[in-house]
Amino acid sequence: MSSRSDTGVVQGTFPDRQGRQGQKLSDHVYGDIIDRIIKDEYGEGQRLPSEEKLAQMHGVSRPIVREALARLREDGLIRSHRGAGSFVRLRPSRAMLDFAPLDSLADIQRCFEFRMAVEAESARLAALNATAEDREALAAAFALLEQRIRENALGVDADYGFHLAIAHATHNRFFAETLASLEATITYGQRLARGLGLRRPTHHLPEVQEEHRRIHDCLQRGDAEGAARAMREHLGNSRRRVFEG
């Protein structure tokens, strides 16, 4: 049964599309290595066990281990040197363990990657196609985000609503329908990012809102490439904030 933290983050749940039994073995290896890094069993700068050793530890093949290590490299958590092995580059915040089950982290990363691809194009098209009515809706969605900051609230409703307003402004229904179909997964990642951010509100919340402001301002003046760039930067920074604290 799930529980809710003081920040409003649902703990111990993640949108389950295939069920835990359908999850890739590499995701379990990925989550376990992150767990050990967070708990400082593998400290920053320390060499990870060899692929062969990791395969034995987890009861999987070496290709499965390589897939997990590749994901960790992409996330900036480890670095690898040919002939020398893999080393811990970054230790994520221990607070992450309060917000997300470890076996959900790979899906959270994939969701951010997917959003960077889809929502950057969504922002570009919204800047080109938005009507006066759309721009009013975007301004209202942005104002709600600012209200949530003043209230020191989690603000996931406003965050998701802002991104959905952008998708509607494309006037291509598939962008909005895609975000709607992924709402549970997207808002889970937003709860994680914003929940962690509420632990340092004087730094995190203004930083995030400035990123939203850049997106909003580009949309309002019809700067398509600027809007796409600002969206990619925002989602990339959100991903880093989750994993780097």
Encode 70-108: b = buried (16+ Cβ within 10 Å), e = exposed: ebbeebebbebeeeeebebbbbbbeebebbbebbbbbbb
- Is 3.40.50.620 the CATH number for 106-244? no
Confidence (pLDDT) at 192: 80
166 burial class (0-12, 13-18, 19+ CB within 10 angstroms)? buried
CATH of region 3-95: 1.10.10.10
Mean local confidence (pLDDT), 38-59:
92
| Domain residue ranges of the chain, discontinuous segments joined by + | 3-95, 106-244
* Per-chain mean pLDDT for the chain: 84
Q: Convert the pLDDT of each residue in 163-193 to its tens digit.
A: 999 999 999 999 999 999 999 889 888 888 7
Mean local confidence (pLDDT), 117-122:
97
Can you name the residues that pair with 81 across neighbouring β-strands?
85
DSSP percent split of the chain into helix, strand, coil, nearest 5: 70, 5, 25
> In angstroms, rounded to a whole number, what is the distance separating the alpha carbons of residues 126 and 142?
15
Mean local confidence (pLDDT), 57-76:
90
> In angstroms, rounded to a whole number, what is the distance separating the alpha carbons of residues 244 and 53?
27
The continuous run of DSSP H or E covering 242 comes out as: helix 224-244
- Report DSSP state, residue 92: -
Can you name the residues that pair with 10 across neighbouring β-strands?
4
Pick from 30-39, 129-138, 224-233: least confident: 30-39
* Model confidence at 23: pLDDT above 80: no
Q: Which residue has the tokens 């989550």?
A: 31
